[in-house]
A = this chain, B = another copy of it.
Amino acid sequence: MELYDGGVTQPRGFSAIGICAGIKKDRKDMAMIMSSQPCTLAGTFTQNIVKASPVVWDKNIVHEYKIAQACVMNSGVANACTGKQGDDYCLATAQAAADALDLRPEQVLLASTGVIGRQLPIEKICEGVKTMSGMLSDSRQAAMSAAEAIMTTDTKRKEIAVTFELAGKEVTIGGMTKGAGMIHPNMGTMLCFLTTDAAISADMAQKALLSCVQDSFNMISVDGDQSTNDTCVLLANALAGNPEITQEGEDYEIFRSALELVTKNLARRMAADGEGAHALFEVTVTGASSKEQAVVLAKSVIESSLVKTAIAGHDANWGRIICAMGYSGAVFDTEKVDLTFSSRAGSVKIAENSVDTGYSEELATKILSEDEITAIIDIHEGKEMATAWGCDLTHEYISINADYRS
């Protein structure tokens, strides 16, 4: 099972497009995904109790209707903290898409990302919906334009696809995501759109999605700020013709593994493209007595501002890592931590039994100067492990966020 360069139009029956609708200046800012057939749905959303209007809209569709056929997305304005008008604008957007695509409004998912507290420019949005409806295409180019239109401070498009066999049928999953700041997902996450031509029940799709999100998007953090707009949806249109997956078993496991490949790839790329990031920082905690303990420790390390600035400075200031483990809330033997840094430039053991190994600072700096860095932390308690992804904290993060609205 191999990932390849592809996006949301890769599975049969899905078309998409991204355009400049005039919300942002001279940049693509609206996207649409459409399936030729009604799709089974799964979705996870932000746990922030302040939820953007489109999040409330989508949650209702995912949990009540469990079927949809199109998605309309915009960047530039988050439609969060916009009161009743924000909700009305969601209905207006879905209605415009329903009219143009011959659907009902409740078959249209919505997603917004951008500045919180501003109202959507609803006329531009409805105009954009009409324009996009006439431009939908299943080409690679169309998927790329959609992935580009949902970017905010992202510097890179984030798309991926995987094709595999399920009960003799060729099945494809495609995905795109955005997110570089306010990234600290919890259950749901950022904007992520996953399409597949697999036949799978809503319950099993939801189960697979939750399981994959747990080990991918929920294991990344850029800045500890959990967004009001996090949304991750999976649309499955059954065009692959595989026997519908309705229970756990071999087919479900194959599908889940493929979906996990996609979500981990997208999550990793989101962390690497964190606002201002120069390096992807991967932390693997091994030797844990439980998965939960490993998760808490790994996340605490990637979230620490002091660890992140040390990585930015290519500085093996390992005490900050042990310190971040210490305040994580997880209990472990503080005298038994081994820490190794590795990257393309090599590998060096920094601490053994929580004490300095007398490592070469020169080698450590060389290893930490690469753009993908891994810390392997062994706590010698058991056999469980977890990996989390973050990035360094740089001057550019400050510049991006001090001037975000200007």
Contact, CB under 8 Å: A50 / B325: yes
Contact, CB under 8 Å: A356 / B50: no
Q: In the assembled complex, which residues on chain B have CB atoms less than 8 Å from the CB atom of A83?
A: 335, 353-355
Contact, CB under 8 Å: A309 / B355: no
Contact, CB under 8 Å: A228 / B117: no
Q: In the assembled complex, which residues on chain B have CB atoms less than 8 Å from the CB atom of A242?
A: none
Verify if A181 is at the interface (C-beta below 8 Å from B). Answer: yes
Contact, CB under 8 Å: A118 / B327: no
C-alpha gap A80/B401 in the complex (Å): 34
Verify if A318 is at the interface (C-beta below 8 Å from B). Answer: yes
Contact, CB under 8 Å: A402 / B310: yes
Which among A225, A324, A331 has the highest number of chain B CB atoms within 10 Å?
Answer: A225
Query: Which residues of chain A from 211 to 253 have any CB-CB distance to chain B below 8 Å in the complex?
Result: 223-228
Query: Which residues of chain A from 175 to 221 have any CB-CB distance to chain B below 8 Å in the complex?
Result: 181-182, 184, 186
Contact, CB under 8 Å: A404 / B313: yes
Verify if A19 is at the interface (C-beta below 8 Å from B). Answer: no
With contacts A182-B306, A334-B49, A334-B50 known, is A403 near B313, CB below 8 A? Answer: yes
Interface stretch, picked from A9-17, A258-266, A390-398, is A390-398
20 contacts between A and B (CB under 8 A): A47-B327, A48-B323, A48-B327, A49-B326, A50-B322, A50-B325, A50-B334, A50-B354, A83-B353, A117-B351, A181-B306, A182-B306, A225-B320, A225-B323, A226-B327, A228-B326, A309-B401, A312-B401, A313-B404, A315-B406
Known A83-B354, A315-B403; further 9 A-B contacts with Cβ < 8 A:
A50-B334, A83-B335, A116-B318, A117-B351, A225-B304, A310-B404, A315-B406, A317-B405, A393-B398
Verify if A289 is at the interface (C-beta below 8 Å from B). Answer: no
A-B pairs, top 6 by smallest CB distance, nearest first, are A116-B319, A50-B326, A313-B402, A309-B401, A226-B327, A117-B319
A323 is contacted by which of B116, B315, B334, B351 (Cβ under 8 Å)?
Answer: B116
Q: In the assembled complex, which residues on chain B have CB atoms less than 8 Å from the CB atom of A310?
A: 401-402, 404
Nearest-CB distance from A48 to chain B (Å)?
A: 4
C-alpha gap A39/B131 in the complex (Å): 79
Name the residue of chain B whose CB is nearest to the CB of A313: B402
Q: In the assembled complex, which residues on chain B have CB atoms less than 8 Å from the CB atom of A354?
A: 50, 81, 83
A223 is contacted by which of B116, B305, B400 (Cβ under 8 Å)?
Answer: B305
C-alpha gap A400/B82 in the complex (Å): 39
- Interface 1/0s, chain A 342-383, versus B by CB < 8 A? 000000000101111000000000000000000000000000
Verify if A171 is at the interface (C-beta below 8 Å from B). Answer: no
Verify if A41 is at the interface (C-beta below 8 Å from B). Answer: no
Verify if A115 is at the interface (C-beta below 8 Å from B). Answer: yes
- Interface 1/0s, chain A 290-332, versus B by CB < 8 A? 0000000000000111100110110101111011111100011
A224 is contacted by which of B82, B305, B326, B401 (Cβ under 8 Å)?
Answer: B305
Contact, CB under 8 Å: A323 / B50: yes
Verify if A78 is at the interface (C-beta below 8 Å from B). Answer: yes
Q: In the assembled complex, which residues on chain B have CB atoms less than 8 Å from the CB atom of A48?
A: 323, 326-327
Name the residue of chain B whose CB is nearest to the CB of A361: B405
Contact, CB under 8 Å: A323 / B395: no
With contacts A48-B326, A50-B325, A50-B334 known, is A319 near B398, CB below 8 A? Answer: no
C-alpha gap A47/B327 in the complex (Å): 7
Q: In the assembled complex, which residues on chain B have CB atoms less than 8 Å from the CB atom of A317?
A: 115-116, 404-405
Q: In the assembled complex, which residues on chain B have CB atoms less than 8 Å from the CB atom of A223?
A: 305-306
Nearest-CB distance from A279 to chain B (Å)?
A: 12
Contact, CB under 8 Å: A398 / B327: no
C-alpha gap A120/B158 in the complex (Å): 48
C-alpha gap A184/B305 in the complex (Å): 11
- Interface 1/0s, chain A 92-118, versus B by CB < 8 A? 000000000000000000000001111
